[in-house]
Amino acid sequence: MTADLVALRERIAAITARPRAGAPSPFGFPSPSGGGQGGGSRRLPPNCTEEATPFGTVAVRREWFPDDGSQEVGALSTCLGFAPDELRRPLFLDTETTGLSGGTGTVAFLVGLAWREGDGLALAQYFLCDFDQEQALLWAVGQCISQAGVLVSYNGRSFDWPLLQTRLVLQRARWPSPPHLDLLTLARRIFRPRLPDCALQTIEQSVLDLHRADDLPGSLIPSRYFAWLRQGDPRVLGPVFDHNQQDVLSMVVLLARFEALLGSSNEMHPLDRFGRARFLEARGFQVEAIREYQHLWREHQAGGALRATRGALGLRLARLLRREGRWQEARLVLEECWHTQTYPYPAAIELAKLLEHQARDPAAARRIVSEALRLLAVAVVSNAQWRADLERRQQRLERRLGRNESPGLALTG
Amino acid sequence: MSIELALDRLLVQDEFRRHLTLDHTVPARPARYAGFPGALDPRLAEALAARGISRLYTHQAEAAALALAGKDVVVVTPTASGKTACYNLPVLQAMLRDPETRALYLFPTKALAQDQLAELHGLVGALKVDLKTYTYDGDTPVSARQAIRQAGHIVVTNPDMLHTGVLPHHTRWVKLFANLRYVVIDELHAYRGVFGSHLANVLRRLWRVCAFYDSHPVVICCSATIANPKELAERLTGRPITLVDDNGAPAGPKRLLFYNPPVINRELGIRRSSTLESQRIAETFLRAGVQTIVFGRTRLQVEILLSYLQQSLANRLGQSGTIRGYRGGYLPLQRREIEHGLRDGSVRGVVSTNALELGIDIGHLDAAVLCGYPGTIASAWQQIGRAGRRRGAAAAVYVASSSPLDQYLVNHPEYFLGRDPEQGLIDPDNLLILSAHLQAATFELPLSNGEAFGQAPVAELLRILEEDGAVHQAGDAWHWSADAFPAEGVSLRSANADNVVIVDVTRGARVVGEMDQFSAPTFLHEEAIYLHEGAQYHVDRLDWEEKKAYVRPVKVDYYTDANLAVSIKVLETFASRPAEQLTVHHGEVRVTALPTIFKKIRFHTHENVGSGPISLPEQQLHTTAFWLEIPAEVARQFPRPAMQGALQGVANVVSQVSCLFLMCDARDLGAYSETRAPHTGTPAVFVYERYPGGVGMSARLFETSTAVIVAAHDLVLSCGCESGCPSCVGPALEVGEEGKAVALRLLELAALVTAAAQ
Ligand SMILES: [Zn+2]
């Protein structure tokens, strides 16, 4: 609102002068009286029907798709710790909202849901024709959620789910809380090394080879809903429903893709394979992770697609090997990193640790540390954290060696 | 013993004694105790006993008992009277009874909140129960916020955070709101003017959210001594409030001296520097071994005082390290260090800006020296309150500067000692402020048809918001319907959304403050010296299109003063009253201001040391004003040139005195005079509020106009200058040779004091 007091006063005066009581709304909307009871007189978006709930009617667009894709869930359930039975009953969820800033004034006006039904996929998009139908909408969505084995979303953990929880508090309602699989978390782990970002559309294009035509950008969605509220024109909503449906269907495809990716690393892009190995490591599958890292370490000696990540790969491999007690192998990896100057300073730090504690050769450790510090001093981009770590290490090694050397000198002298 | 010695050393000097305008001893006040409230939990009594408290002062007991009985209360608490017990006791008692109980503490600044938390931790620690107390503000790490929302029994925050960080996300605070039994508002007197008007609306929103979760918290407010604590608390909270102002804390006798530095140039009204005089007096105390605190008005002044004192004491005593500076921005740890040094005697003196005056506890000293009037009587008493132990004598010396307010006060000590006339004024129904918060409220919870929000025409405002696409009516309620977060656009500390943002270019483009569009051309033009929290900044560049002022910290011995070409149009007169041959009015005006040139004016001497042009667009302000109108037949008695200067003089002095009465900053008010006001064609003097629509100050000026005008008259009458000086109507060069005399006559006519003066 304008901060101009005069303008505000003038507008108040104009409104006060206007006849108001019982005046019809300029858009021909009847003023509904009470919790969405006036259902019959409301307009509906295209292809929507009204369904009854204990809290009045709610608009929904339903569709059914044949789905002959694999419904295998073994790898996902092993890697993520979900019960296979839960994963076989996924409920895909995606919301469209009146804003992205969050807070109690942001409403989910469209909730897209999909689940397996028979040999196909059922899609339901619950739509809020007006704010006073929210209780009915939340009830209907809650019915689906109570049937779900696992809730599948894309960024739902930090966006859709908390937002829906806020709506529940405001409507004094409750839902069960099924296990939640946020595909964004998984996508970040696996595709982060290869892709610039992990937005769903990026994943669609670069991983699933899906390309949307005439998609409505997400940033325009709130204004479409407000246009519907004010002008009641159902045509503005078509692209919103389509956008939401595409989001939900992409998740279905992506889940199946993850099952395949986690099951086998054959024919994967080396960067995805590196991401997959990182994911396995994070989930505690150390043996598998070492195997994958070693494979990548050997197969991509020359770098290639892995050139930029070879240092990070070596470091991860060495750390895992050392943790498994295989420090001689780790030493070889780190020495290669150091000699080829790939990611040299973290490698030097790791190598010094290993030489000091496992190989019990503090003099060699000191040599590496001093060399690294000498290089770091002339490096174009210095790093205060590495320098501090190396200096601390050097001091400690000096102390330790000094203490051990003095009696030695005394004996020979 | 040493305090008497030091006072003797001062009072034997003829020169010093002759320029005292007040030598008053505030008698010792015995402690008055009351037992713990009957139902006090034994664990709480034990914890207090462990901290050396075996009984309460009467006001603590009264406040605690009322709060425990569910009454909303405001406690007036002078410095160091144990105000925290007034709210901590009932809150902790309720928590011991029911561990689900939650409380929300509001402090005006983050530093005060931190300080309080340390104190609260001590008491909670002694209780040996698992009560979690947290601060929640802009500095709270994101990782800690979840735990605070879920588990914090006492959440300590500030109004800004409540406004943008808590209320718009209330569903994340279900535990807090559903179990909220107490809301504590400390430093109530800080919430006046625009800030207070905003807070009143934030509290309206808070009560709505509480009602949604079916909680009805008791409010406990603490205020420094002001004239209207009950009224301010009631306006802020929108609830009837019980006043507790019978202070039971003890105090030793205190000698209070007012010293007016001698005039060294009578014609121009120039006095000896208050900084040097304060230094001399503080030195006398310090050399006698008296622990002393010196208050300066600006950071610059503090630095000058500090270095002078350190030098002179190093030369004579070789102990410069024992005088410490204390400015805003000190960390709690540094404060603890100074406090500790004062307690063990290693720190002998502290030189401070008013950072210490706001409730922060550094213990007590023997003497206080006030270098200049801190702006409000409440602040002056708080500074004086720094000197004074529970037993033993103390002294406070106020050294007046040459500003009109200082000169009025030093010559009217009875005003200072009498009932405090300062008002904490707010207008929670200022249309601009209210409509901004109405949006935030709708965002937080849909507004039911017919639901009230203050005294606003809610239905009309909602229609406007609907036209603008911000709200939408569905069923029986109005819903927020825009992709925006309304609380974010509203700053509680200043006026509009279109504020000019002030950026310090030397510190990584850090934002140091903001200013409303109307005032910015006057205070933020290029080459202006902008004062912020006692520090000086030079305005390097003002980008009017982008609404950004780029500044850098400087240390200079001058300030800048912009000349404005102003015109005022009266839009509506709300009320009028005849005063002898003049009339006073209150109403709505439109002020048009075009800044023309600025002058650089040296501190203390007020000499003009430079000037320059200002080229910025004309500004318009729609606000409320108080004005004096002089009928043509009265104006005819005076020569026209004299009249012009006199009117300006009256404007100067009335606006200065108004600040004194209203407890506001000089920047909150503007003054203007016309020899031929457009609406009547006769001379008039206006005092207008600088906030669009005003926050109730001009209304209060109209109500108390006689007292204001009498005070202005007294100030001019008792000034020793011949024909005007910066301490009264303004320098003779500005108001003309006859300006002072005619101004005095006009004020007489306005104040109905014609008979008395002759
Ligand atoms: Zn004077």
C-alpha distances (whole Å) from B730 to each of B274, B706, B722 are: 19, 22, 12
- The DSSP string of B443-485 is HHSPEETT---TTS-HHHHHHHHHHTTSEEEETTEEEE-SSS-
C-beta atoms of B444 and A105 within 8 A = yes
Q: Does residue A231 sit at the B interface (CB-CB below 8 Å)?
A: no
Backbone angles phi, psi at B439, to 5 degrees: -65, -45
> Among B11-15, B548-552, B615-619, which is the least confidently predicted range?
B615-619
Residue B562 above 80 pLDDT? Answer: yes
Question: Among the residues of B576-690, which ranges form H helices?
Answer: 632-635, 640-662
Cβ proximity of A314 and A294 under 8 Å: no
ipTM for this model: 0.81
Q: What is the mean pLDDT of residues B75-93?
A: 85
Nearest to B481 among A15, A166, A229 (CB): A229
Instruction: Check CB contact of A378 with chain B, cutoff 8 Å.
Output: no
Nearest CA in chain B to A167: B171
- Token pair for A160: 């859709």
Residue B209: what are its φ and ψ, rounded to 5°?
A: -65, -40
Cβ contact A8–B436 (<8 Å): no
Q: Note the Cα B340 to chain centre separation in Å.
A: 29
Whole-angstrom Cα distance, residue A19 to residue A5?
Answer: 23
Q: Taking CB atoms and an 8 Å limit, are A99 and B461 in contact across chains?
A: no
Exposure string of B40-65, with b = 16+ CB inside 10 Å and e = fewer, is: bbeebeebbeeeebeebbbbbbbbbb
Q: Say if A404 is an interface residue toward chain B (CB within 8 Å).
A: no
Instruction: Residue A214: count other Cβ atoms within 10 Å of its Cβ.
Output: 7
Residue from B360, B436, B501, B31 nearest B200 by CA: B436
Neighbouring C-beta atoms of residue A209, cutoff 10 Å: 8
Q: Tell me the shortest Cα–Cα distance from B515 to chain A, in angstroms.
A: 14
Distance from CA of A35 to the nearest CA of B (A): 7
Lowest mean pLDDT among B40-54, B455-469, B503-517, B731-745: B503-517
- C-alpha span between A343 and A348 (Å, rounded): 9
d(CA B100, CA B93): 12
B477-480 β-sheet, strand order: B447-448, B477-480, B471-474
CA separation for the pair A405, A115 (Å, rounded):
71
Query: Is the separation of the CB atoms in B223 and B189 below 8 Å?
Result: yes
From ligand 1's centre to the CA of B628, what distance in Å?
Answer: 22
Yes or no, beta carbons of B470 and A1 under 8 Å apart: yes
Question: Are B442 and A105 within 8 A, CB to CB?
Answer: yes
Q: Is the pLDDT of residue A206 over 90?
A: no
What is the DSSP code (8-state) at residue B163?
A: I
Q: Distance between CA B43 and CA B36 in Å, rounded?
A: 12
Point out the residue among A1, A4, A6 whose CB comes nearest to the CB of B439: A1
Probe site for chain B from A131, A133, A165, A228 (most B CB atoms < 10 A): A131
pLDDT, chain A, mean: 83
Interface test with B, best of A9, A10, A12, A96 (most B CBs within 10 A): A12
Please compute the mean of the pLDDT values over residues B277-302 and round it to a whole number.
88
Report how far ligand 1's centroid is from the alpha carbon of B267 (Å). Answer: 9
Q: pLDDT band at residue B329, thresholds of 50, 70 and 90? A: low
Domains of chain A (ranges, CATH numbers): 42-262 (3.30.420.10), 266-412 (1.25.40.10)
Supply B299's token pair: 């950071």
Compute the average pLDDT of residues B25-37. Answer: 86
Q: Using a CB-CB distance cutoff of 8 angstroms, which residues of chain B are in contact with residue A11?
A: 464, 467
**Of B159 and A69, more confident:** B159
| Mean pLDDT for the stretch of residues B372-396 | 81
* pLDDT(B162) > 90: yes
Q: What is the pLDDT of residue B214?
A: 96
Burial A53-92 (b: 16+ CB within 10 A, else e): bebbbbbbbeeeeebeeeeebeebbebbebeeebbeebbb
Q: How far does A12 lie from chain B, in Å, by closest CA?
A: 6
Query: What distance in Å separates the CA atoms of residue B135 and residue B145, rounded to the nearest whole number?
Result: 10
**Structure-block tokens of residue B428:** 């929670």
Q: At CB < 8 A and 24+ separation, what contacts does B483-486 make?
A: B483/A98, B483/A99, B483/A100, B483/A101, B483/A222, B483/A223, B483/A226, B484/A99, B484/A101, B485/A99, B485/A101, B485/A103, B485/A105, B485/B168, B485/B443, B486/A105, B486/B436, B486/B439, B486/B440, B486/B442, B486/B443
pLDDT digits (tens, 9 = 90+) for A17-67: 665 444 444 443 334 333 333 334 568 898 999 999 999 999 999 999 887
pLDDT score of B754: 35
Facing A8 at nearest CB: one of B435, B472, B477 = B435
A131 touches chain B (CB under 8 A): yes
Q: What is the pTM of this model?
A: 0.82
B169, B460, B477 ranked by CB distance to A103: nearest? B169
Cα(B373)–Cα(B663) distance, integer angstroms: 12
Q: Per-residue pLDDT for B64 more than 60? A: yes
Q: Which of B461, B483, B515 to mutate to test the interface with A (most CBs of A within 10 A)?
A: B483
pLDDT at A265: 74
pLDDT band at residue B238, thresholds of 50, 70 and 90?
A: very high
Q: Which of B220, B133, B144 is nearest to B183 (CA)?
A: B220
How far, in Å, from the CA of B389 to the mean position of ligand 1? 38
What is the overall mean pLDDT for chain B?
85
Closest-CA residue of chain B to A21: B459
Assign B708 to helix, strand or coil: helix
Instruction: Evaluate if residue B168 carries a pLDDT over 50.
Output: yes
Joined together, the tokens standing for residue B388 give 């004074």
Measured between beta carbons, the chain B residues lying within 8 angstroms of A170 are: 171, 445
**Please, is A204 exposed, middle or buried when counting C-beta atoms within 10 Å of its C-beta (0-12, 13-18, 19+)?**
buried
Alpha carbon of B577: minimum distance to chain A alpha carbons (Å): 27
- Please give the residue of chain B at the shortest CA–CA distance from A166: B171
Q: Do B168 and A105 touch (CB under 8 A)?
A: yes
The first and second tokens of residue A39, run together, are: 């259902």
- Select from A5, A12, A226 the Cβ nearest to the Cβ of B432: A5
Which residues of chain B have a CB within 8 Å of the CB of A222?
483
